[in-house]
């Protein structure tokens, strides 16, 4: 790509590292950015830097936030005795969009996958168990219905069962292998309402 100036090539190269962006799209985006009004391009660059510098995991639920504790964990209106366990912040957002879940969340940041070498120590499981020391009535496992999601659900349920805390799994209204983030709100709600005891 040395027929472009080195700075354009650099921009194209960085953009093409993003997921789902091939070299053609990266070129198109790079030229789009170069043709932007300067203040718009600066805003884009600033927002990337600010997000990267200020966004981190909530100390309580491990979702992404720019505060110490995220607004959901901080809210006195939420039921802190009901914890929904999800694989990633996008799944949390999917359930939050339904506006019907009144508990709080726990974000695992992944799922157990022996094939990919991801074990229980690689996701935020210890952190979940630590939260159960507080007054928790129910843990709703809302990991994806993929092999990894199911493996993780079984593993968590076995860990929690001896504590006497109620453990449930969202119903199979969620299609097998389906990623929560792509599922419509009605199906998500039905899955939550039809949750089963583990």
Give the residues lining the site for Zn ion (CB under 5 A).
Answer: 58, 60-61, 70, 73
Smallest distance from the beta carbon of 45 to Zn ion, in angstroms?
A: 28
61/125 with CB nearer Zn ion: 61
> Residue 107 Cβ, how far from Zn ion at the closest point, in Å?
8
CA distance 54 to 35: 28
Q: Cβ distance 197 to 166 under 8 Å?
A: yes
Q: Based on CB atoms, which residue is closest to Zn ion, 86 or 153?
A: 86
Q: Least distance in Å: CB of 74 to Zn ion?
A: 8
Nearer to Zn ion, 89 or 173 (CB): 89
Closest to Zn ion by CB, 12 vs 73, is: 73
The sheet with strand 166-169 has its strands ordered as: 103-107, 79-86, 138-141, 166-169, 196-197
Q: How far is the CB of 134 from Zn ion (least distance, A)?
A: 14
- Other beta carbons less than 10 A from residue 103's beta carbon: 19
140 contacts 157 by C-beta, under 8 angstroms: no
Cβ distance to Zn ion smaller for residue 70 or 141:
70
The minimum distance between CB 69 and Zn ion, in angstroms, equals 6
Relative orientation angle of helices 185-193 and 89-98, to the nearest 10 degrees: 90
Measure CA 19 to chain center. 16
Instruction: State residue 55 phi and psi, 5-degree precision.
Output: -90, 130
């Amino acid at each position: 790509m040395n027929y472009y100036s080195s700075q354009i090539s650099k921009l194209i190269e960085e953009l093409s590292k993003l997921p789902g962006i091939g070299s053609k799209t990266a070129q198109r985006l790079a030229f789009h950015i170069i043709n932007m009004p300067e203040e718009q391009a600066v805003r884009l660059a600033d927002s990337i830097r600010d997000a990267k510098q200020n966004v981190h995991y909530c100390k309580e639920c491990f979702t992404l936030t720019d505060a110490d504790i995220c607004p959901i964990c901080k809210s006195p209106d939420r039921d802190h005795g009901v914890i929904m366990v999800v694989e990633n912040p996008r799944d949390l957002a999917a359930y939050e969009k339904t506006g019907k879940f009144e508990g709080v969340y726990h974000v695992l940041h992944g799922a157990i996958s022996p094939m990919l070498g991801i074990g229980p120590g690689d996701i935020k499981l210890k952190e979940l168990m630590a939260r159960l020391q507080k007054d928790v009535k129910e843990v709703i496992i809302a990991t994806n219905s993929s092999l990894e999601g199911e493996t993780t659900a079984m593993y968590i349920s076995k860990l929690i069962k001896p504590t006497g805390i109620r453990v449930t799994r969202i119903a199979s209204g969620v299609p097998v292998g389906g990623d929560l983030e792509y599922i419509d709100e009605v199906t998500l709600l039905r899955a939550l309402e039809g949750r089963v005891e583990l």
